[in-house]
Amino acid sequence: MSVRKLKPITPGQRFRVVNGNDAVTTDKPEKSLLAPRKRSGGRNNSGRMTMRYRGGGAKRRYRIIDFKRNKFDQAGTVESIQYDPNRTAFIALLSYADGEKRYIIAQNGLEVGQEVISSQDFLAPEIGNSMPLSSIPLGTVISCIELHPGQGAVMARSAGTFAQLMARDGKYATVKLPSGEVRMILSVCKATIGAVSNSDHQLIVSGKAGRSRWLGRRPRTRPVVMNPVDHPMGGGEGKSSGGHPRSRNGIPAKGYKTRYKKKASNRFIVERRKTRKKK
């Protein structure tokens, strides 16, 4: 994978860095796995704007992804690696012997023609294979992790992310997540071997405001230039600082912990994620 820096032949291309898409093998999605994707534009069922700074954007069709990987002990052949407009990672189209096709999140290093398999027992820890945490060797880099058995992948699904299986004790496995948090997860939960593809996504520079509009993001107004009725940081004469940084609802923005102290899942967290210390 690589990125390309465009020549500055227009103001919008002067600082733009785009993905080389070396891993993508086709630009035509599988029609049987497409679904319509309706946008709300930030409006509720009454047509009232309940979420600001959303609207517009290019029309998309949703790719139905197999997050559960519940076609067990049947090898699927990777037909193509494709771009998905609904997520940062690339997706892989699998073709099974019975003719069924499914999309999965593509792992880094997954190639066309490679066979991947999902099982509830031990498998060879090869890229793209899915199996329970109880069957994965310790220290293995994993992604697309379930939090509850049979739920489907919910963690480490974004481009370039990965977790690491640290230890096993009883019915729980200890996993270090992309945020740095160390957490206990049931060993019967499944995960996929390898890191998620498109790790160069973090290097992309849009280059112009119009690209945000293509993605459905409208311009955001800074809180300090709002009126007091619109934001706690609004109001004042001239260029006032706005007071302590806080959200529209008055919740402090820097260093204030919003997690419920008595949350039931706190007992599964071995070590909290690393936070930036104030100097």
Would 238 be classed as within a structural domain? no
Tell me the pLDDT tens digit for each residue of 78-90: 999 999 999 999 9
SS3 211: helix
* Residue 35: predicted pLDDT: 97
Domain count, the chain: 1
Rounded CA gap, 34 and 38, in Å?
Answer: 13
Give a yes or no: residue 241 inside a domain: no
Query: Residue 268: what are its φ and ψ, rounded to 5°?
Result: -90, -10
| pLDDT tens by residue, 138-176 | 999 999 999 999 999 999 999 999 999 999 999 999 999
Residue 19 placed within a domain: yes
CATH number for the domain spanning 155: value is: 2.40.50.140
Residue 247 lies in a domain: no
Could you tell me what percent of the chain has a pLDDT over 70? 98
Amino acid 274: pLDDT: 80
Return the pLDDT at 240. Answer: 87
Report yes or no on 210 lying in a domain: no
pLDDT band at 278 (very low <50, low <70, confident <90, very high): low
CA distance 116 to 129: 5
Cα end-to-end distance, the chain, whole Å: 37
Q: How far is CA 197 from CA 29, 94, 114, 206, 212, in A?
A: 18, 16, 15, 20, 23
> What SS3 state is found at 268?
helix
Interval 31-41 mean pLDDT: 95
- Res 255: pLDDT: 86
- Looking at the predicted structure, is the pLDDT value of residue 279 above 60? no
pLDDT recorded at residue 1: 63
Write the DSSP symbol of residue 255: S
- Provide the residue range defining the domain that includes 59: 3-201
Residue-averaged pLDDT of the chain? 94
Q: Is the pLDDT of residue 241 over 90?
A: no
Amino acid sitting at position 134: S
**Residue 180 — φ and ψ, nearest 5°?**
100, -10
Mean pLDDT of 199-222: 95
Is residue 144 situated within a structural domain?
A: yes
For residue 15, tell me if it sits in a domain.
yes
